[in-house]
Structure 1
Amino acid sequence: MMFNDIINDIWKNYRGRLLCSLFGLFIGAVVLWLGFFQALFLMLCIGVGFFIGTKLDHKEDLLEWLDRLLPPGYHR
């Protein structure tokens, strides 16, 4: 019972620091495991995937977005 109270108190007061520290640990481990540029490429791919997933979640049309991004007549 007391352990749960301590964990809840830590989560309530230090959530941002805890999550960002764990994220930093993860990023550091990936850089050590893959190397800097491979880790950078992996994070770029994750970011693009997250962006596309967000567009799909919001039911946005990806072809319309690509039409705005690419020059006119690019995909014909």
Structure 2
Amino acid sequence: MWKQIWQQLWEGHRGKTVCTISGAVLGIIYLFFGLWNMLIFALIVYTGYYIGKRIDRGEPAVPAEETWQWLMDKWRLFR
């Protein structure tokens, strides 16, 4: 049963699965060393999920061009 669940996750949501697991591992590592344990852990896991979701949709993991365009649009107001 568990093998089928993991196989479905791997086939249908590979990016979300890998990034969420890596986020959870990094979060657990942080729990041993950190402050604000629950908040930072949740943020790390959510970030892994968000990046995995973007990868599954075929979008770039980090929207560098969109962010650059947004910054340039904001800075034009001061010229």
| TM-score, normalisation: structure 1 | 0.39
| TM-score, normalisation: structure 2 | 0.38
Q: Which has the larger radius of gyration?
A: 1
Q: Relative contact order (alpha carbons < 8 A, sep ≥ 6): 1 or 2 greater?
A: 2
